[in-house]
Structure 1
Amino acid sequence: MAKNKNEVPINGLYDEDGRIFEEQDPEEQAPKGRAENEPAEEQAEVSLSKEELAALCKESVCPECDVFKEAEATRLRALADSENVKKRLFREAEELRKYAGESVLADLLPVLDNLDLALAHTDNLSPECKNFVVGVDMTRKLFLGAVKTHGLEAVQAEVGIDFDPEIHEAVGTVEEPSLSDNQVAQVIQNGYRLKGRLLRPAKVMVNKV
């Protein structure tokens, strides 16, 4: 039966056409796409860098996870690289300290060469000159002793020893029947080491028969 249009709906249960209002469930009134009681701010997208994500994973995953193993391997590689750099820098510092005077001592070698050259021409000298030669020889010994305290020493270079390319430099060959093949026949210039490192090879003539 139709309701009178002038009749007011009782308690708001009827609409103007006389149909009963159906109350909508409050749960159905919630916007679709959002979970119950979900905060609005959680709908915002969270953006993390790869490094931040890896750090979070490392803190939360178990030790057996691949992410944890990879992060641990990266950490160990970084520690190993750091130790290698420290060792290399320490070695370089030691080398620099050990051979700090190399250039100075190398500049002093011509002084020793001239003293050796003066002593090599002492035949048929007068007694006065022989006394002078003794003084030159003493000067050479004192000078050689002074530089020896800094690690400088002469390499072995004598007539009759075998030629060694590691400490000798061949400047020519001779034929000396009294010597064997590939032996030192004459020393032209002495060689020197500085704390085990070859500073200058000895220049020699090598016997060839």
Structure 2
Amino acid sequence: MVKNKNTEVPINGLYDEEGTLSDVASEEMTETSVAEENVETEAEVTLSQEELEALCKESVCPGCDVHKEAESIRLRALADTENVKKRLVREAEEMKKYAGESVLSDLLPILDNLDLALGHTENLDAACKNFVIGVDMTRKLFLDAVKSHGLEVVDAARGVEFNPEVHEALGTSEEEGLGDNQIAQVVQAGYFLKGRLLRPAKVMVNKA
């Protein structure tokens, strides 16, 4: 022990002979204090606001507003995911169902030409009858083939009520024996593809 101004000072390597804290000890204590402050500072900034909120959402009671908000967000996300799945499945089925639409649309002019050919068979001699029969059989075979892929003819016969949803009016005419707004003439046949309108029937509408 060393006495300094009536005070006993222990000599343990930290103090000099006069009882003053040595430079080395002072530096060590300063470094220790700074290190402790840095640890405290790091502990304070380790978690961001988002991380703190996430921890809160995991540990708070079910009645807490934060928990209710997190649960609401989770349920909305699940609902959105389910809706996306259903939409993708529906679009895939729709694409598969109407995959041949473009091909069948390209084949319609063939049916149109066969219809035109059969529409000009009046007053033909007997030698042409076999030719007409052959064209008619070809049309029926062709129509049966496309029907197997879901193609159906729009009802647009003479006397049928005009329907703007499936018929396209090219003009009007006045014919006896037909009521107002009835089809007087079919200019071009219309078709459905698996229940969906592929092409409207082009007609002349009677106006009484």
Q: What is the TM-score with the length of structure 2 in the denominator?
A: 0.81
CA 1:184/1:11 → structure 2, altered by over 3 Å: closer, same or farther?
closer
Please tell me whether the aligned partners of residues 2 and 8 of structure 2 are also in contact (alpha carbons under 8 angstroms): no
Letter in 1 for 2:175: E
CA 1:75/1:50 → structure 2, altered by over 3 Å: closer, same or farther?
farther
**Secondary structure of the structure 2 residue equivalent to 1:198:** strand
Of residues 57-66 and 102-111 in structure 1, the stretch that sits farther from structure 2 once superposed is 57-66
Aligned match of 1:175:
174
CA 1:106/1:54 → structure 2, altered by over 3 Å: closer, same or farther?
same
Letter in 1 for 2:111: L
1:42-71 Cα deviation digits (max 9, x unpaired): 353224334322220122211111111111
Letter in 1 for 2:40: E
Please tell me whether the aligned partners of residues 190 and 199 of structure 2 are also in contact (alpha carbons under 8 angstroms): yes
Deviation at 1:128, TM superposition (A): 2.1
- Which of structure 1's runs of 4+ aligned residues deviate more than 2 A? 20-23, 39-51
**Secondary structure of the structure 1 residue equivalent to 2:164:** coil
Separation in 2, partners of 1:140, 1:43? 88
**Secondary structure of the structure 2 residue equivalent to 1:112:** helix
Aligned match of 2:21:
none
Separation in 1, partners of 2:111, 2:60? 72
Superposition RMSD in Å? 1.9
Aligned match of 1:146:
145
**Secondary structure of the structure 2 residue equivalent to 1:185:** strand
Separation in 2, partners of 1:49, 1:79? 27
1:118-158 Cα deviation digits (max 9, x unpaired): 11111121222101111111100000000001100101001
Show the 5 A alignment for 1:56-135: 56-135=55-134
**Unmatched segments (≥5 aa) in structure 1:** 1-9, 24-38
Please tell me whether the aligned partners of residues 159 and 178 of structure 2 are also in contact (alpha carbons under 8 angstroms): yes
Aligned residue pairs: how many? 180
Aligned-residue sequence identity (percent) comes to 71
Aligned match of 1:4:
none
Separation in 2, partners of 1:92, 1:50? 41
**Unmatched segments (≥5 aa) in structure 2:** 10-35
